Amino acid sequence: LHKQADMQEEKNRIERVLGATLLPELIQKVLTFALSEEVRPQDTVSVIGGVAGGSKHGRKAAWKFIKDNWEELYNRYQGGFLISRLIKLSVEGFAIDKMAGEVKAFFESHPAPSAERTIQQCCENILLNAAWLKRDAESIHQYLLQRKASPPAV
C-alpha cells in the first residue's frame, strides 16, 4: 500500500500504523523500513513512534533500535525538534522505574543538547507511570476481572 500510494498524506497514515503489530519479526522489518530510502527522513520519527506506541514489545524494540542507530538518527535530526519528538514518542510510555534510569544514563553518555528538557520530562513521566502502576494495578486488574465475569445488561 505504501508503495502504491500517490499522496504523501496517505503514505504518512500508512507509516504511522505499520507498527501496530505484535509479531517481533514484523516489528523489526518496520524499524528497518523506517531508515530506508522509501521513508522520507522527516517521517522516520513517525514510523518509529508508531512501533513504540503499538505494543509493549514494540516499545522495547523501538528503544533498542534507537540506541543501536543513535549516531545515524542524531546526525539526521540533531538541531531540530524531530530529535525531541523521536525521544518522546519512543520512551515516555515506559512504566518501570529502572527504565527512567536507563534512559537518563543513555543520554548522559549520548548527549542531545536540543532535547535535554524532553529527556528530563520523559524520565519524570516514566517514574510517574511506574508509581501509578504500582499504586493501581491490582485495583484495575480486579475491576477488569469483575467486568469480564459479569457483562453489562443490555
Q: Give the pLDDT score at 143.
A: 93
Residue written as cell 529502572? 98
Q: Does a structural domain hold residue 98?
A: yes
> Is-contact 29 60, C-beta < 8 A?
no
Check residue 126 and give its pLDDT: 97
Q: What is the pTM of this model?
A: 0.88
CATH number (domain holding residue 75): 1.25.50.20
Domain count, the chain: 1
The CA distance from 128 to 122, in Å, is: 10
Return the percent helix, strand and coil in the chain, to nearest 5.
75, 0, 25
Q: Which amino acid is at 50?
A: G
Task: Judge whether 46 lies within some domain.
Answer: yes
Give dist(CA 60, CA 53) in Å, integer: 10
**Whole-number pLDDT of residue 78:** 85
Q: Domain residues for 12?
A: 2-149
Predicted local distance difference test score (pLDDT) of residue 149 = 82
Residue 10: phi and psi, rounded to 5, are -65, -40
63: which 3 cell numbers?
A: 528503544
Residue 21 lies in a domain: yes
154 within a domain of the structure (yes/no): no
What is the secondary structure of 11-74 as a DSSP string? HHHHHHHTT----HHHHHHHHHHHTSTTS-GGGHHHHHHHHHHH-HHHHHHHHHHHHHTHHHHH
Phi-psi map region of 110: left, alpha, beta (phi>0 left; psi -120 to 50 alpha) = beta
96 occurs within a structural domain? yes
Q: How confident is the prediction along the chain (154 residues), in pLDDT tens digits per residue?
A: 989 999 999 999 999 899 899 999 999 999 999 999 999 999 999 999 999 999 999 999 999 999 999 999 999 998 789 999 999 999 999 999 999 999 999 999 999 999 999 999 999 999 999 999 999 999 999 999 998 887 766 6
